[in-house]
Amino acid sequence: MNIFDRIIVLFATFVLMVPVSGIAQHVSVRRGITYSHALYPGEDKMRNLCFDFYEPGNESDTLRPLVITLFGGGFVVGSRNYEDMVEWCNRFAEEGYAAASIDYRLMPAHKFNTKGLIRTGFMAAQDVSAAVRFFKANGDQYRIDTNRIFLLGQSAGAVAILHALYMDEDERPAETFLEPELPPLHSTGTNAAKRQSFGVAGAILLWGCIFDPMMIDPDETTPICMIHGEKDNILAADSGFAFSIPTLPYVYGSKVIADRHLELGTIPSELHLLADEPHAFYFKYAYLFRLDELKFDKCFQIAQEFIRRHGG
Protein backbone atom coordinates (compact mmCIF):
# COMPACT_ATOMS: atom_id res chain seq x y z
CA MET A 1 0.00 0.00 0.00
CA ASN A 2 1.57 3.32 -1.04
CA ILE A 3 1.36 6.54 0.98
CA PHE A 4 -1.62 7.80 -1.05
CA ASP A 5 -3.60 4.63 -0.37
CA ARG A 6 -2.72 4.79 3.32
CA ILE A 7 -4.00 8.36 3.57
CA ILE A 8 -7.26 7.27 1.93
CA VAL A 9 -7.68 4.40 4.39
CA LEU A 10 -6.86 6.58 7.41
CA PHE A 11 -9.27 9.29 6.25
CA ALA A 12 -11.99 6.77 5.53
CA THR A 13 -11.49 5.02 8.87
CA PHE A 14 -12.28 8.23 10.72
CA VAL A 15 -14.75 9.95 8.40
CA LEU A 16 -16.42 7.99 5.65
CA MET A 17 -17.90 4.89 7.27
CA VAL A 18 -21.44 6.21 7.15
CA PRO A 19 -24.26 4.40 8.97
CA VAL A 20 -27.07 2.74 7.04
CA SER A 21 -30.29 1.22 8.29
CA GLY A 22 -31.57 -1.36 5.79
CA ILE A 23 -33.22 -4.38 7.39
CA ALA A 24 -33.60 -7.75 5.71
CA GLN A 25 -37.00 -9.28 5.07
CA HIS A 26 -38.18 -11.67 7.82
CA VAL A 27 -35.91 -10.02 10.41
CA SER A 28 -37.21 -8.15 13.46
CA VAL A 29 -35.11 -5.37 15.05
CA ARG A 30 -35.34 -3.59 18.39
CA ARG A 31 -33.10 -0.53 18.62
CA GLY A 32 -31.32 1.42 21.32
CA ILE A 33 -31.60 -0.98 24.26
CA THR A 34 -29.30 -0.09 27.16
CA TYR A 35 -26.92 -2.78 28.39
CA SER A 36 -24.56 -0.70 30.57
CA HIS A 37 -23.63 2.79 31.75
CA ALA A 38 -20.06 4.05 31.58
CA LEU A 39 -17.76 7.07 31.68
CA TYR A 40 -16.27 8.02 28.33
CA PRO A 41 -12.64 9.19 28.15
CA GLY A 42 -12.31 12.74 29.45
CA GLU A 43 -15.91 12.94 30.68
CA ASP A 44 -17.36 12.91 34.20
CA LYS A 45 -20.97 11.98 33.43
CA MET A 46 -22.16 8.43 32.80
CA ARG A 47 -23.59 7.64 29.37
CA ASN A 48 -25.74 4.75 28.22
CA LEU A 49 -24.17 1.98 26.17
CA CYS A 50 -26.80 0.49 23.87
CA PHE A 51 -27.36 -2.32 21.39
CA ASP A 52 -29.66 -3.09 18.49
CA PHE A 53 -31.17 -6.56 18.71
CA TYR A 54 -31.90 -8.57 15.55
CA GLU A 55 -33.86 -11.83 15.52
CA PRO A 56 -35.83 -13.99 13.09
CA GLY A 57 -39.25 -12.49 12.45
CA ASN A 58 -41.10 -15.74 13.09
CA GLU A 59 -42.30 -16.26 16.67
CA SER A 60 -40.66 -19.14 18.53
CA ASP A 61 -39.91 -20.16 22.09
CA THR A 62 -36.66 -21.84 21.02
CA LEU A 63 -33.48 -20.52 22.60
CA ARG A 64 -31.18 -19.20 19.88
CA PRO A 65 -27.40 -18.76 19.70
CA LEU A 66 -26.39 -15.09 19.93
CA VAL A 67 -23.73 -13.28 17.90
CA ILE A 68 -22.57 -9.96 19.39
CA THR A 69 -20.92 -7.70 16.80
CA LEU A 70 -18.48 -4.81 17.26
CA PHE A 71 -17.71 -2.17 14.61
CA GLY A 72 -14.28 -0.80 13.65
CA GLY A 73 -12.99 2.78 13.57
CA GLY A 74 -9.69 3.10 15.41
CA PHE A 75 -11.41 3.70 18.80
CA VAL A 76 -12.18 7.23 17.55
CA VAL A 77 -15.27 6.82 15.38
CA GLY A 78 -17.82 4.07 14.85
CA SER A 79 -21.46 3.11 15.05
CA ARG A 80 -23.49 -0.01 15.71
CA ASN A 81 -25.37 1.06 12.54
CA TYR A 82 -22.40 0.80 10.19
CA GLU A 83 -23.28 -1.00 6.99
CA ASP A 84 -21.19 -4.06 7.80
CA MET A 85 -22.67 -4.40 11.31
CA VAL A 86 -26.22 -4.21 9.90
CA GLU A 87 -25.31 -6.81 7.26
CA TRP A 88 -23.73 -9.19 9.77
CA CYS A 89 -26.76 -9.00 12.05
CA ASN A 90 -29.29 -9.27 9.22
CA ARG A 91 -27.61 -12.36 7.84
CA PHE A 92 -27.28 -14.11 11.16
CA ALA A 93 -30.94 -13.40 11.98
CA GLU A 94 -31.96 -14.76 8.57
CA GLU A 95 -30.11 -17.97 9.48
CA GLY A 96 -32.06 -18.33 12.73
CA TYR A 97 -29.62 -16.72 15.17
CA ALA A 98 -30.13 -13.73 17.40
CA ALA A 99 -27.62 -10.92 16.85
CA ALA A 100 -26.75 -7.74 18.73
CA SER A 101 -24.73 -4.82 17.39
CA ILE A 102 -23.35 -2.95 20.40
CA ASP A 103 -21.91 0.42 21.33
CA TYR A 104 -18.55 0.61 23.05
CA ARG A 105 -16.62 3.61 24.31
CA LEU A 106 -14.59 5.77 21.93
CA MET A 107 -12.10 8.57 22.54
CA PRO A 108 -11.97 12.14 21.21
CA ALA A 109 -9.77 12.48 18.13
CA HIS A 110 -7.28 14.74 19.98
CA LYS A 111 -6.52 11.81 22.35
CA PHE A 112 -5.47 9.58 19.45
CA ASN A 113 -2.04 8.61 20.78
CA THR A 114 -0.44 5.62 22.51
CA LYS A 115 -1.92 6.37 25.92
CA GLY A 116 -5.34 7.07 24.44
CA LEU A 117 -5.39 3.92 22.33
CA ILE A 118 -4.36 1.66 25.21
CA ARG A 119 -6.78 3.18 27.72
CA THR A 120 -9.71 3.27 25.30
CA GLY A 121 -8.95 -0.24 24.08
CA PHE A 122 -9.18 -1.42 27.69
CA MET A 123 -12.47 0.44 28.18
CA ALA A 124 -13.86 -1.17 25.03
CA ALA A 125 -12.82 -4.59 26.40
CA GLN A 126 -14.71 -3.76 29.60
CA ASP A 127 -17.77 -2.98 27.47
CA VAL A 128 -17.47 -6.30 25.60
CA SER A 129 -17.46 -8.09 28.94
CA ALA A 130 -20.41 -6.06 30.23
CA ALA A 131 -22.45 -6.88 27.11
CA VAL A 132 -21.77 -10.62 27.35
CA ARG A 133 -22.67 -10.67 31.03
CA PHE A 134 -25.81 -8.61 30.35
CA PHE A 135 -27.08 -11.24 27.94
CA LYS A 136 -26.20 -14.02 30.34
CA ALA A 137 -28.27 -12.27 33.00
CA ASN A 138 -31.17 -11.71 30.58
CA GLY A 139 -31.05 -14.83 28.47
CA ASP A 140 -34.68 -15.78 29.01
CA GLN A 141 -35.95 -12.31 28.07
CA TYR A 142 -34.10 -12.38 24.73
CA ARG A 143 -34.56 -16.14 24.18
CA ILE A 144 -30.79 -16.66 24.14
CA ASP A 145 -28.94 -19.89 24.76
CA THR A 146 -26.30 -18.38 27.07
CA ASN A 147 -23.96 -21.30 26.42
CA ARG A 148 -23.84 -20.33 22.74
CA ILE A 149 -22.82 -16.67 22.75
CA PHE A 150 -20.30 -15.73 20.04
CA LEU A 151 -18.37 -12.49 19.51
CA LEU A 152 -17.52 -10.94 16.14
CA GLY A 153 -15.52 -7.77 15.68
CA GLN A 154 -13.61 -5.99 12.95
CA SER A 155 -10.50 -3.86 13.46
CA ALA A 156 -10.89 -1.96 16.77
CA GLY A 157 -13.85 -4.21 17.59
CA ALA A 158 -11.61 -7.27 17.20
CA VAL A 159 -8.94 -5.63 19.38
CA ALA A 160 -11.51 -5.07 22.14
CA ILE A 161 -12.64 -8.71 21.95
CA LEU A 162 -9.08 -10.08 22.11
CA HIS A 163 -8.28 -8.14 25.25
CA ALA A 164 -11.58 -9.05 26.89
CA LEU A 165 -10.69 -12.71 26.26
CA TYR A 166 -7.02 -12.70 27.18
CA MET A 167 -6.11 -9.88 29.56
CA ASP A 168 -5.85 -10.88 33.22
CA GLU A 169 -5.82 -8.27 35.97
CA ASP A 170 -2.05 -8.70 36.47
CA GLU A 171 -1.50 -8.16 32.72
CA ARG A 172 -3.09 -4.73 32.52
CA PRO A 173 -0.96 -2.03 30.84
CA ALA A 174 0.37 0.70 33.12
CA GLU A 175 -1.73 3.26 31.21
CA THR A 176 -4.92 1.73 32.66
CA PHE A 177 -3.81 2.61 36.21
CA LEU A 178 -3.15 6.30 35.51
CA GLU A 179 -5.57 8.85 36.93
CA PRO A 180 -8.42 8.33 36.71
CA GLU A 181 -7.66 4.65 37.36
CA LEU A 182 -9.88 2.27 35.42
CA PRO A 183 -11.74 -0.47 37.34
CA PRO A 184 -11.06 -4.19 36.78
CA LEU A 185 -11.84 -5.55 33.33
CA HIS A 186 -14.84 -7.69 34.24
CA SER A 187 -16.34 -5.42 36.92
CA THR A 188 -18.57 -3.05 34.93
CA GLY A 189 -22.18 -3.35 33.81
CA THR A 190 -25.58 -3.65 35.43
CA ASN A 191 -26.01 -5.14 38.90
CA ALA A 192 -27.44 -8.30 37.34
CA ALA A 193 -24.52 -8.51 34.90
CA LYS A 194 -22.01 -8.18 37.73
CA ARG A 195 -23.27 -11.47 39.14
CA GLN A 196 -22.39 -13.27 35.90
CA SER A 197 -19.01 -14.56 34.76
CA PHE A 198 -17.51 -13.61 31.41
CA GLY A 199 -17.09 -16.34 28.83
CA VAL A 200 -18.19 -17.11 25.27
CA ALA A 201 -18.48 -20.12 22.96
CA GLY A 202 -16.19 -18.59 20.34
CA ALA A 203 -14.95 -15.41 18.66
CA ILE A 204 -14.50 -14.27 15.05
CA LEU A 205 -11.80 -11.62 14.68
CA LEU A 206 -11.44 -9.65 11.46
CA TRP A 207 -8.07 -7.88 10.95
CA GLY A 208 -7.46 -7.51 14.69
CA CYS A 209 -4.36 -7.35 16.89
CA ILE A 210 -3.18 -7.70 20.48
CA PHE A 211 -0.84 -5.53 22.54
CA ASP A 212 1.12 -8.53 23.87
CA PRO A 213 0.70 -12.14 22.65
CA MET A 214 2.17 -13.47 25.91
CA MET A 215 -1.05 -12.55 27.72
CA ILE A 216 -2.58 -15.58 25.93
CA ASP A 217 -2.23 -18.23 28.65
CA PRO A 218 -2.45 -22.05 28.60
CA ASP A 219 -5.70 -22.07 30.60
CA GLU A 220 -7.56 -20.11 27.88
CA THR A 221 -9.54 -22.37 25.56
CA THR A 222 -12.12 -20.23 23.72
CA PRO A 223 -12.28 -21.23 20.02
CA ILE A 224 -10.98 -18.47 17.75
CA CYS A 225 -11.44 -17.72 14.04
CA MET A 226 -9.24 -15.00 12.51
CA ILE A 227 -9.52 -13.39 9.08
CA HIS A 228 -6.79 -11.01 7.91
CA GLY A 229 -5.47 -9.49 4.69
CA GLU A 230 -1.76 -10.09 4.13
CA LYS A 231 -1.30 -6.54 2.77
CA ASP A 232 -2.80 -4.88 5.89
CA ASN A 233 -0.72 -1.78 6.71
CA ILE A 234 -3.11 -0.50 9.39
CA LEU A 235 -2.99 -3.50 11.76
CA ALA A 236 -0.43 -5.85 10.23
CA ALA A 237 -1.25 -9.54 9.95
CA ASP A 238 2.21 -10.21 11.45
CA SER A 239 3.36 -7.34 13.69
CA GLY A 240 4.16 -3.65 13.45
CA PHE A 241 3.20 -0.21 14.64
CA ALA A 242 -0.53 0.50 14.60
CA PHE A 243 -1.46 2.48 11.47
CA SER A 244 2.23 2.10 10.46
CA ILE A 245 2.96 5.11 12.67
CA PRO A 246 6.06 4.62 14.90
CA THR A 247 4.69 6.84 17.70
CA LEU A 248 1.67 4.51 18.17
CA PRO A 249 1.75 1.12 19.97
CA TYR A 250 3.60 -1.83 18.47
CA VAL A 251 0.97 -4.54 18.03
CA TYR A 252 0.77 -8.20 17.05
CA GLY A 253 -1.65 -9.42 14.40
CA SER A 254 -3.44 -12.62 13.56
CA LYS A 255 -0.37 -14.56 12.39
CA VAL A 256 1.41 -14.02 15.71
CA ILE A 257 -1.74 -14.82 17.66
CA ALA A 258 -2.20 -18.04 15.66
CA ASP A 259 1.43 -18.99 16.36
CA ARG A 260 0.84 -18.46 20.09
CA HIS A 261 -2.29 -20.63 19.93
CA LEU A 262 -0.28 -23.35 18.17
CA GLU A 263 2.51 -23.11 20.74
CA LEU A 264 0.07 -23.57 23.64
CA GLY A 265 -2.01 -26.28 21.95
CA THR A 266 -5.06 -25.55 24.12
CA ILE A 267 -7.02 -23.13 21.92
CA PRO A 268 -9.06 -24.34 18.91
CA SER A 269 -7.88 -21.77 16.39
CA GLU A 270 -8.11 -21.13 12.67
CA LEU A 271 -6.47 -18.44 10.57
CA HIS A 272 -7.67 -17.29 7.15
CA LEU A 273 -5.01 -15.16 5.46
CA LEU A 274 -6.13 -13.52 2.23
CA ALA A 275 -3.33 -12.69 -0.17
CA ASP A 276 -3.09 -9.16 -1.60
CA GLU A 277 -5.89 -7.86 0.63
CA PRO A 278 -5.55 -4.66 2.72
CA HIS A 279 -7.19 -3.67 5.98
CA ALA A 280 -10.99 -3.97 6.12
CA PHE A 281 -10.95 -5.41 2.63
CA TYR A 282 -14.67 -6.14 2.40
CA PHE A 283 -15.33 -2.42 1.98
CA LYS A 284 -15.19 -0.59 -1.36
CA TYR A 285 -13.06 2.41 -0.35
CA ALA A 286 -13.89 4.27 -3.56
CA TYR A 287 -17.63 4.10 -2.79
CA LEU A 288 -17.79 5.62 0.69
CA PHE A 289 -17.12 2.25 2.32
CA ARG A 290 -20.05 0.39 0.82
CA LEU A 291 -19.63 -3.36 1.01
CA ASP A 292 -18.05 -5.52 -1.65
CA GLU A 293 -20.67 -8.28 -1.63
CA LEU A 294 -18.40 -11.07 -2.87
CA LYS A 295 -15.73 -10.37 -0.27
CA PHE A 296 -18.30 -9.96 2.49
CA ASP A 297 -19.93 -13.25 1.42
CA LYS A 298 -16.58 -15.01 1.80
CA CYS A 299 -16.12 -13.63 5.33
CA PHE A 300 -19.68 -14.53 6.28
CA GLN A 301 -19.27 -18.11 5.07
CA ILE A 302 -16.06 -18.51 7.09
CA ALA A 303 -17.75 -17.08 10.20
CA GLN A 304 -20.92 -19.14 9.84
CA GLU A 305 -19.03 -22.40 9.31
CA PHE A 306 -16.87 -21.65 12.36
CA ILE A 307 -19.93 -21.00 14.54
CA ARG A 308 -21.61 -24.19 13.36
CA ARG A 309 -18.50 -26.22 14.18
CA HIS A 310 -18.53 -24.84 17.71
CA GLY A 311 -22.14 -25.39 18.67
CA GLY A 312 -23.92 -22.50 16.99
Mean pLDDT of 214-235: 97
Domain locations along the chain: 3-309
CATH class for the domain made up of 3-309: alpha beta
Bin 65: left if φ > 0, else alpha if -120 < ψ < 50, else beta: beta
Q: Is the pLDDT of residue 2 over 50?
A: no
Identity of the residue numbered 183? P
Residues 86 and 75: their CA atoms lie apart, in Å, by: 19
Mean pLDDT of 21-50: 87
Residue 18: what pLDDT? 47
Percent of the chain with pLDDT over 90: 84
Residues 228-287: tens digit of each pLDDT: 999 999 999 999 999 999 999 999 999 999 999 999 999 999 999 999 999 999 998 755
Residues 172 and 196: their CA atoms lie apart, in Å, by 21
Among 191, 66, 178, 173, CA closest to 125: 173
HSE value, Cβ hemisphere, 13 Å, CA-based, for 272: 17
Determine the pLDDT at residue 13: 52
Write the DSSP symbol of residue 123: H
